[in-house]
Structures are given as C-alpha cells and as structure tokens.
Amino acid sequence: MEQKILDIHDLKREFVMGDQTVRALKGITFDIKAGEFITIMGSSGSGKTTLLNILGCLDKPTEGSYLLDGVDVKGLNRDELAGLRNTKIGFVFQAYNLLPRTSALENVELPLFYNKTITAEERKERAIKSLESVKLAERFDHTPSQLSGGQQQRVAIARALVNHPVMILADEATGNLDTRTSYEIMALMQELNAEGKTIVFVTHEPDIAAFSTRTIMLRDGKIQKDSINQNQRSAKEALANLPESDDY
C-alpha cells in the first residue's frame, strides 16, 4: 500500500570544467515512499545539494534513472521540468529567497501565478490557507524586512506548500537560524509530515537529522549509510527542554 513517490537508480552527475571532470554523484540508488521524512546528511562537498537539485528537477543526472511520482524525468525538456517543479515540488532554501518589498501573501502566491489552471480567488485563498498552516496568517501583509529569520523561513515554507506538492525539498533550511528557531522550523516540518507531507531535508547537523524518520548519509558522492530512525525525536519536546535563557 505504500506508494513510491520517487525512485532513483544508479544516479550519476558529473561536472565538466575545462579538461577536468568533477564527479559529484557516483551512482546513487534509493527510493522514497509517501509520508517519509528523510534527512540527507554529509559533510560539505559530499554532493547533498547536487542530489537535491536533481530530485527537485532543477538539474538532470548525467547517468541513471529518475522516476518522480511515476514520471520519467530523463526525457523531459526545460519547460516540462519547470512544469513538474511547479506542480509536484516545494522548495525551501537556506537563504529563504523571498522577494524583497513584497508582502508575505504575495510571496506565497507566487508559484500559483505560473499555474494557468488556478484562478485569482483560488490563488489568494490557497495562499492564506498556506500561511495559516505555518501560523503566520496574521502577518500576511508584512514584507520580509518586517519579519524575523524564522518567520521568513515559515513564509518560504508556506510558499513551498501552496501548490500542494508531492514532496517538500529543503536545502539547509535551518542553516541561517539559531537553535531555538531551527527547532521551531523542525516542529513545523514534523507537523506537516504528520499531516502526510513527504519531506526531504538536507542538513549537516546531526541533531536536526534526529527529527526525521530516515537518514541517508552521503560521502564523496556515494551513499555511506541509509538507515531508518528507530526513535524519532519530537521537536516540540526538544523545544520545551531548551534552557529559558536561550535568546531568540
């Protein structure tokens, strides 16, 4: 009954730079089922971002196969990849990447502008719902400069959710945040996961990985370890146990 959202086989990615070839991914094989909360770990340069970009259809593998929600990504052109990103994927970046001087609501609406089938009312309605689900509904008219880092990242998560993606991809989404705010974001991720969202979360911090259900460890472009997290930590509890003096 468990449905495969993503299935990659012997995935390779090489970058040709002049006469040098950088082999960033050297044959990766795994699949992800609906409802999983996966963290991808590894030291800097191990290929985490390269892998996530391919999973997110921003990049194409040099070799190997990739099935996303039953679609073979290999044969698709630039525009078709854009279409997939628009309907199946929600990105969350380390640097938030919100449009400056633009309200939270308009930022969240953005992906729906590139979807012809959605009307203006529907767009607004969904954006507000999405902001509600990250508990920022009352800040819909604030611009990024009027929001804290954690709030900005929550807007970015709302933006990733607004197109009802099959999975959310996050690249070091807590990398710019302090511990407490990071835990708040992870609590939000766990909540979304509990509602059924599939999440792939890239991080290099082990305490963040502890909040997921499964961890894939990359090293030098290969999978070093792929393990189910037997005792997933609750971010809510972790938050409660943080010392009061922690500044936020």
Ligand X SMILES: Nc1ncnc2c1ncn2[C@@H]1O[C@H](COP(=O)(O)OP(=O)(O)O)[C@@H](O)[C@H]1O
- The entry of another protein, ligand X, Mg ion, none near residue 30 (CB within 5 to 8 angstroms by kind) is none
Report the residue number, 35 or 83, with the smaller CB distance to another protein.
83
Smallest CA-to-CA distance from 97 within 86, 108, 85 is with 108
Task: Give the residues lining the site for ligand X (CB under 6 A).
Answer: 15, 17, 22, 24, 42, 44-50
Which x/- pattern over 35-54 shows residues binding Mg ion (rule: CB under 5 A)?
A: --------------x-----
- In angstroms, rounded to a whole number, what is the distance separating the alpha carbons of residues 154 and 138? 13
**Least gap, CB of 78 to another protein (angstroms):** 6
48-67 residues labelled b (16+ CB within 10 A) or e (exposed): bbbbbbbbbbebebbebebb
Strand partners, 8: 30, 66
Report the residue number, 56 or 184, with the smaller CB distance to another protein.
56
DSSP string, 47-95: SHHHHHHHHTTSS--SEEEEEETTEEGGG--HHHHHHHHHHHEEEE-TT
Report the residue number, 111 or 150, with the smaller CB distance to another protein.
111
Taking CB under 8 A as the criterion, the residue among 82, 128, 137, 239 binding another protein is 82
For the record, the structure tokens of 186 come out as 């992870």
Report the residue number, 49 or 151, with the smaller CB distance to Mg ion.
49
Report the residue number, 110 or 217, with the smaller CB distance to another protein.
110
Q: Considering only residues 105 through 164, tell me which ones interact with another protein, judged by CB under 8 A.
A: 106, 110-111, 113-116, 159, 163
- In angstroms, rounded to a whole number, what is the distance separating the alpha carbons of residues 135 and 48? 29
**Least gap, CB of 24 to ligand X (angstroms):** 3
Q: Are 204 and 216 in contact (CB under 8 A)?
A: no
Site residues for another protein per CB under 8 A: 53, 56, 58-59, 78-79, 82-83, 85-87, 91, 93, 95, 97, 99-102, 106, 110-111, 113-116, 159, 163
